[in-house]
Amino acid sequence: MNVAESEPILQIGQLVKIRRGRDAGNYAVVIRIENERFVWIADGDKRRFDRPKIKNVLHLQAFDSISSEVLSSIAQTNRVTNGKLRYAVNKFTELIEGQRKKGE
C-alpha cells in the first residue's frame, strides 16, 4: 500500500502541533503508533501518559524534532513519565517561541 506523500510519517517521541479538535493549537508528543493513519499523543499535562489521545495524522502538524528522553524511556520500559513529556513539550515550545522572536 502506498502512503500519500502529504501524510506525515510520524515516529515515537516526535513533537507535533494539534491542528484540529478540542486541543487545537497545543503541542504534544507521539507516544504510540496505531497504524499509518492514527497515533496516540500525550503532553504530560492535560493528556497524561495513562490517558493519551488517539489522533488522525492528518490533524497533526509534524516537526522534525524528536525527544530523545521520551524515545529512550519508551524503548527501555514501554512507559514515559508525565514529567518527561511536559519537559519535552516545554523545551520545544521555548525553542519555537525563540525562533519566532528572532524572525520578527
pLDDT in tens, the chain (104 residues): 444 445 558 999 999 999 999 999 999 999 999 999 999 999 999 999 999 999 999 999 999 999 999 999 999 999 999 999 999 999 999 988 888 777 76
Question: For the purposes of burial, counting CB atoms within 10 Å of the CB of 87, is it exposed (0-12), middle (13-18) or buried (19 or more)?
Answer: middle
* C-alpha dihedral (46, 50, 54, 60), degrees to nearest 10: 50
Q: Give the chain's domains with CATH numbers.
A: 14-103 (2.30.30.30)
* Predicted TM-score of the model (pTM): 0.86
Q: Which residue has the cell 525563540?
A: 98
93: left (phi over 0), alpha (psi -120 to 50) or beta: alpha
Can you give the pLDDT at residue 4? 44
As a whole number of angstroms, the distance between CA 28 and CA 76 comes to: 21
What pLDDT is stored for residue 104 in this prediction? 67
